Structure 1
């Protein structure tokens, strides 16, 4: 898709305006209700759908299909990332009224990081077609790793601070309690971090790892930097509201990791086939409509099986609790 610098500029201005609106809505710390989260989640999804339809009308069918495939893939990966956000919030005991501020920062830093990775990825792909082999192998490895983690069934999973985060805490020191939305305070004549700043740094550093998965995945669906960027942007902008909307549902999506592993593995194979095709090997390439069907199908099946499994688990736990009570009585 041929995108002019003018369209790039208008798109970035438009996305910046949407981010500003999002910031204005969440600038005042408050507990986000299910109703508020639901309304804004729908708004962001509708905006993404309108943008995809705009690509269909003013661009072409392929560009629109690539955007929707990329958006759905990035959105599903973002939902998986919410599990980590939940762990971080629990680890640092973030007050509920401050969680939306933390998530807003996480979305902003994620957009910046993805823009950098997308620019770098596009430059590498334009000059070195063999990078598709590396992207494909990395996604297949990530898919296998996801399956291994899902099979481990570690119910006591906790977020562990990385070395960078620990070194920052040791260097500057951390206050013993939250101080509203302040990121730094003066304590005993020394400027120290507040726990809120530490949480934001934790979200920001983990966003780097998230980008390492998502960027190769979407480049497996399209090599158009404009579509890659906009699909990532629209997938991330509703993440904050989605966190509050499906916070309780996250624990019920027990098969999500399996579904994402299938999607990442599928895209990894697609990348390898594309690399072989570019190298002159006559192999079939996977079309965008077929990719979109596979991604949607896997997510639908995963969601259904997850909810069924969660319901059965809840029934077993209820039966065991009732049996225990009857024995004790």
Structure 2
């Protein structure tokens, strides 16, 4: 078999066609992406400006917003440019960069959500020992660890994926370069790599998810033992936002990466991918702001300061 050409550009088939309905959906996707960028940027700004939010919990939340912003910027600009210009090609280098950033951010978010669940566990179950069990040093180490583990996985998968020869038509049935979609175009035996990639994805999802389940099981046991109804209400309100984000993120990720191949569908995969790369990043700041009195207070304070400056 002739060795494939690994230097030719790939063609992204995209998510939308040029029908009226799809044009409407494209505009909606851009609107959601813009709202996501504004919402997450505002969340980072509020946490940076308000000294009451300078705690490990809100620092982790700012990192989540940063990851979501970077994820949107990794996927949406290229998708929008392809749709508007009709040029759907992407170089192998560009494809590798998309895979690297996508897996870095998705993998990093898995571990960051686990870190956030540990933070909530310590705050509710061991409040008096919180400064020790969740010190700034530990918080920064776990945050950098989340970024490092995601980046290591992304670097390995991007390099390994692009090392294969591609002798079929270089058409990727997706709207961005995703390792599983790209591997299907390879003309070499990819079974070992696919098994390793599947195992890695399972570990990257299930290990943090197990830690999250353990943390919230202990939190639930502690909350049920509280005598004060107000304390229980406050604890549930604090944790419900994080659980909503975890549910949205892991439901989509598990559906994409852990279901049997026989149930795979390119169109369904693209829709679900659009959900967790475009729609979910918009929901995160909304969920945390609407259900968090401290964030709402910081927003009101920021608006008041801006209004006062505008009248000076």
* Length-normalised TM-score, structure 1: 0.28
* Length-normalised TM-score, structure 2: 0.29
